[in-house]
Structure 1
Amino acid sequence: MARRDYEDDPEAPKANSLVPAASAVVVDDGGRILLHRRSDNGMWALPGGKMELGESIGECAVRETLEETGLTVEITGLVGTYTNPGHVFAYDDGEVRQEFSICLLARPTGGTLRTSDESFEVDWFTPDEVDDLPMVPSIRKRISDWRAGSGPVVR
């Protein structure tokens, strides 16, 4: 399903749903960050997705990371909360979702790097390499918040 991100765009469609979601900044022992290239918009992103009934936000981030990248992770901290009502995702099925996302910090504990039906590339990048990758502003904001290292951010 195709997706288009709008952030503080007066031409954006109005939200018709609000779904809790989690993403993960997964950092290896060498300080590299795990990203996947999304199949719905072609942009590089953190692993993440919507929370399912019966799971915690941490369990959501762990599950989504495994599904999208093949790696198991352990949650080690909080990067921030992201709830800008001006940030919406429009899907081709008519859903327009307002952002409500918790971004967690994680470290890899196992698994094998692989793509999924949600990603067509998965790789590790140094923080400097991330600067030149195509990604939506909200993902870049999460990575910038992690790089700033000033503790959890509320946006």
Structure 2
Amino acid sequence: MGRRDYQDDPGAPAANSLVPAASTVVVDEDGRVLLQRRTDNGMWALPGGRMELGESIGACAIRETFEETGVTVEITGIVGTYTDPGHVFAYDDGEVRQEFSVCLLARATGGTLRASDESSEVAWFAPAALDDLPMVPAIRKRLNDWRAGRGPVVR
């Protein structure tokens, strides 16, 4: 299913859904960050996704990271909470979701790097390489907050 992100766009469709989600800044022993290239918009992003009934936000982040990248993680902190009503994403099925994401910090503990049906590529990046990657502003904001050591932030 395709997805289009809107950030402070007066032409954006009105949100009709609010779903708790987690994203994860995963850092390896060399200080590199784990990113995936999303299949729905072709942009680089943090692993993450919607929280399911019966799970905690931490369990959501761990599950989504493994499902999308093949990497197992341990949660070590929080980068921030991102709930900007000016950021919505529209899906092909008509859902228009307002951002509601808790971004957690994690360290890699194992697994095997692999793409999934939600990610066409998965790779580790040095923090200095992040600025040149195509990504939506909301993901860039989370990475910039992490790099600046601002956390935990509430946006």
Q: What TM-score does the superposition give when structure 2 sets the normalisation length?
A: 0.99
Aligned residue for 2:64? 64
Aligned residue for 2:88? 88
Instruction: Kindly indicate whether residue 19 of structure 2 is the aligned counterpart of residue 19 of structure 1.
Output: yes
Equivalent residue of 1:81, what SS? strand
Aligned residue for 1:129? 129
Q: 2: distance between equivalents of 1:94 and 1:79? A: 30
Instruction: Kindly indicate whether residue 104 of structure 2 is the aligned counterpart of residue 104 of structure 1.
Output: yes
Q: 2: distance between equivalents of 1:48 and 1:150? A: 20
- Deviations along 1:58-113, whole A, 9 cap, x unmatched? 00000000000001000000000000011101000000000100000000011000
Cα deviation, residue 142, structure 1: 0.2
CA-atom RMSD, angstroms?
0.4
Aligned residue for 2:117? 117
Instruction: Kindly indicate whether residue 140 of structure 2 is the aligned counterpart of residue 140 of structure 1.
Output: yes
Q: 1: distance between equivalents of 2:116 and 2:150? A: 33
Aligned residue for 1:149? 149
Aligned residue for 2:73? 73
Aligned residue for 2:55? 55
Cα deviation, residue 19, structure 1: 0.1
Q: 2: distance between equivalents of 1:72 and 1:125? A: 17
Q: Which runs of 5+ in 2 are unaligned?
A: none
Q: 1: distance between equivalents of 2:137 and 2:127? A: 16
AA aligned to 2:55 is E
Q: 1: distance between equivalents of 2:29 and 2:112? A: 16
AA aligned to 1:4 is R
Q: 1: distance between equivalents of 2:73 and 2:151? A: 20
Cα deviation, residue 151, structure 1: 2.5
AA aligned to 1:84 is D
Q: 1: distance between equivalents of 2:8 and 2:154? A: 17
Q: What TM-score does the superposition give when structure 1 sets the normalisation length?
A: 0.99
Cα deviation, residue 150, structure 1: 2.5
Q: 2: distance between equivalents of 1:63 and 1:69? A: 10
Q: 1: distance between equivalents of 2:141 and 2:150? A: 13
Q: 2: distance between equivalents of 1:21 and 1:123? A: 22
Q: 1: distance between equivalents of 2:112 and 2:90? A: 32
- How many residue pairs match? The answer is 155
Instruction: Kindly indicate whether residue 42 of structure 2 is the aligned counterpart of residue 42 of structure 1.
Output: yes
Aligned-residue identity in percent: 81
Equivalent residue of 1:52, what SS? coil
